[in-house]
Structure 1
Amino acid sequence: MPTTLIQGGTVISATGKGAADVLIEDGKIAAVLAPGAKTLGENLAENVDSTIDATGKYVIPGGIDAHTHMQMPFGGTEASDTFETGTRAAAWGGTTSIVDFAVQKYGEQVVDSLADWHDKAAGQCAVDYGFHQIIGDVNADSLAAMDGLMDEGVSSFKLFMAYPGVFYSDDAQIYKAMRKAADTGLLSMMHAENGPAIDAMVEELLAQGKTDPYYHGVARAWQMEEEATHRAIMLANLTNAPLYVVHVSAKQAVEQLAAARDVGQNVFGETCPQYLY
């Protein structure tokens, strides 16, 4: 198998940074060594296929983007990046793996939607990829299909507390899906907003002629995110399912997640650069 030694760089790891050499075997990190270490032999550099001089440079593990939407149809349009263009950009930026979302909508079968996304991505990606499964129609068939997701390499699924008529799941559906998650080991991902209340707020704003982009944020009030995040946490607590809340945008929702983690509940949250900005 081909081997490469990266020498002289500053390695960035999960615990900090420091001078180190990195041995790569068959495309995978095999060892991170102190400069000049003899652990793997006296003349390691002479016994590898190639060496890279990283003096004055950072050596950073490939990034994993765990939330992408390539070629996703939504709202009458489609995400501008294809699997080809999106993963090419990812590779140039140092992201070597993505986890995209296979989308099941109302009236569709979970297995068919997953197959569609495999077809979109196959042979098009410049980096490694995997899938989360969006379950937009929680019913008996969908719940049964969840039993086979692990065998397909899919270890997580996403539900929506927003977008009634498109992806929305009510509390009973969320409860059933989380019960299935607890039984199968799947990770429950949640878009946590109170969709029906938000839609009512949108109707009020439209009636008042308030249609500027500013009012999009007004309609997505932080109270509706905090409430939904808390509700998702409680349902996960009830069912003993792990919970991953996606694209958290309100500090009050963060506080709900932190409080749950402080008492040992298996919950996580992610955010997006625009919310930090």
Structure 2
Amino acid sequence: MSTVIKGGTVVTAGDTFPADVLIEGEQIVALGQGLSGDKVLDASGAYVIPGGIDVHTHLDMPFGGTVSSDDFFTGQRAAAFGGTTMHIDFSIQPKGASLRETLDIWQAKATGKAVIDYGFHVAITDLSEALLEEMAHCAEYGVTSVKLFMAYKGALQVDDTTLFRAMQQAAKHKLLIMVHAENGDAIDVLIKDALAADNLAPKYHALTRPPELEAEATARAVRLAEVSGAPLYVVHLTNAGALEAVRLARARGGAGHIFAETCTQYFFFTKDDLAREGFEGAKWVCSPPFREKHDQAALWQGVADNSLEAVSTDHCPFWFEGGQDGRTPGKELGKASFAQIPNGCPGIEERLMLLYTHGVRTGKLSLNRWVELCSTNPARLFGCYPQKGAVAPGSDADLVIWDPEAKRTLSAATQHQRTDYTLYEGWEVVGAPRTVLSRGQVLVDNGEWQGEAGAGRFVHRRPFGL
């Protein structure tokens, strides 16, 4: 069974050209003019792009006495409606568990539910000697990126010894080290000071996690990576100071092994959103927190000049008012104190639309750079290019027919993410998916769901740099 996408303009990270795209089975087999197939999808007036790849998500993740509200079916379905056809989720090591056991726990969450292809990072919280040795087997597991937290003291945070030893092992085995870069020790002091002063409102989440502590931790992680020789990927970078640390590393010769991402939401909100009336600000509680207007400008510059290689979402949704009608608890757990608010925001569905509307249409990003940030660079950095992230013969037919003039109004009432709010309530976007395919199978067509639970597959990724 062949499918041809006809009449569209193919947009890749490097080129823009009119072409039909011929698909046989699960793969692209040809690009050209006048191609024919058993099934025809009309791309007239539209772009044909590689499906989005979101390398930073948290589906069905336990956190702060609850669990993120999207599972591997609802979260992936929402991703597909937004034009994302692959994601990489974080499997977080329970204390004492091996890496294999950790990955098996997360694989069980995805089995039978996944609708798009996916991979895993493994997050180390308890680095025993046995686990250090097991890192040598990560490539066999198909998981070649390892995350460590420099924040969340007493829960997920590791010390510098653990971080550095993991980096040394990663350097030996071509693993990409990922860090959540905030100084958790200093943040812990500031949180305790705020609680002692009875400063409990959501805005104090941002005030106790100042940007300087992210910048310091970023610079420290960079220097440790330089000494260890490990490639480093700084996740969810939010501010000008942290970006400066990345740029300085590049200037010292780290362009081939120091990388960073930001997330969609950091372009649009500030810490003032956490100070909204009543408990409303809890919707914007995530870590690192939102910063200032000048930091937003720095991030736009960072994605334009390649200081930031990718834009992901850190999709970690919680109910705003959970615990009702059998739903899991949500943000309301922190009504008495900001320190108890589950950290995270929804966003896996809106990413491509927001960046197209506010990046491409405003001239901040070219079409090609948009594709590069949202699909191709993630595939390259995380060991699955050109299987993913490309529109080329031999690549998986993960494709989006993108209507550049389609108008949508973002709303909790119409989103597919399983939560009761969106940060972008009432925002209009221009440019949206018309048709979304995963390995040649249509998942979404003109707003109608055609996917199937269990069809998504685990992607066995290559070691870093190969």
Relative to the length of structure 2, the TM-score reads 0.55
SS of equivalent to 1:270: strand
Aligned to 2:117: 128
Query: Residue type of the partner of 1:167?
Result: L
For residues 12-60 of structure 1, what are the alpha-carbon distances to aligned partners after superposition, in whole Å with 9 as ceiling and x for unaligned? Answer: 2112533222122222223333x45xxxxxxx42xx3222221112212
- Does residue 270 (structure 1) correspond to residue 269 (structure 2)? The answer is no
> Who is 1:40 aligned against?
none
Deviations 1:51-109 (A, max 9, x none): 22211122121111111111000111100000011111111221111111111033333
Give the CA deviation at 1:225.
0.3
Of residues 147, 162, 168, the one that matches 1:179 is 168
**Secondary structure in 1 aligned to 2:87?**
strand
CA shift for structure 1 position 7: 1.4
What displacement does 1:263 show? 3.0
2:56 counterpart SS class: strand
Could you tell me which runs of 5 or more consecutive residues in structure 2 were left unpaired when the two chains were aligned: 269-466
Query: Pairwise CA RMSD of aligned residues?
Result: 1.4
By how many angstroms is 1:238 displaced? 0.3
Query: Between Structure 1 and Structure 2, whose CA radius of gyration is higher?
Result: 1
Separation in 2, partners of 1:263, 1:29:
40
Q: Distance in 2 between the 1:176 and 1:156 partners?
A: 15
Counterpart residue type for residue 209 of structure 2: R
Q: Bigger relative contact order, structure 1 or 2, given CA contacts below 8 A and separation 6+? A: 2
Say if 1:105 and 1:167, in contact at 8 Å, map to a contact too.
Answer: no
* 8 Å contact from structure 1 (residues 7, 53) kept in 2: yes
Q: Please state whether the residue corresponding to 1:83 is helix, strand or coil.
A: coil
For the pair 1:25 / 2:24, whether they are aligned, the reply is yes
* Deviation of the 1:226 alpha carbon: 0.4
Aligned residue in 1 for 2:180 = 191
Residue 106 (str. 1) matches residue 95 (str. 2) = yes
Partner Cα separation in structure 2 for residue 260 and residue 123 of structure 1: 43
Aligned residue runs from structure 1 range 1-277, under 5 A? 2-33=1-32, 35-36=33-34, 44-45=35-36, 48-265=37-254, 266-277=257-268
Q: Is the 8 A contact 1:106 1:167 kept in 2?
A: no
- How many residues were matched structurally? 266
Q: Does 239-248 or 2-11 show the bigger shift?
A: 2-11
SS at match of 2:7: strand
* Alignment-mate amino acid for residue 267 of structure 1: I
Deviation string 1:178-200 (CA, Å, 9 cap, x unpaired) is 00000011110000000010000
Return the alpha-carbon distance in structure 2 between the equivalents of residues 105 and 189 of structure 1: 18
Deviations 1:143-163 (A, max 9, x none): 112111110110101001111
Corresponding letter in the other structure for 1:15: G
Amino acid at match of 1:220: R
Q: Secondary structure at the match of 1:115?
A: helix
Report which of the two has the higher share of strand: 1
- Give the C-alpha shift of residue 3 in structure 1: 2.3
- Deviation digits for residues 118-175 of structure 1, max 9, x if unmatched? 1111121010011000101122122112111110110101001111221111111111
Runs of at least 5 residues in structure 1 that lack an aligned partner in the other structure = 37-43
Equivalent residue of 1:149, what SS? helix
Q: Residues of 1 paired with 2:88 and 2:230: CA distance?
A: 21
**Which residue identity does 1:11 align to in structure 2?**
V
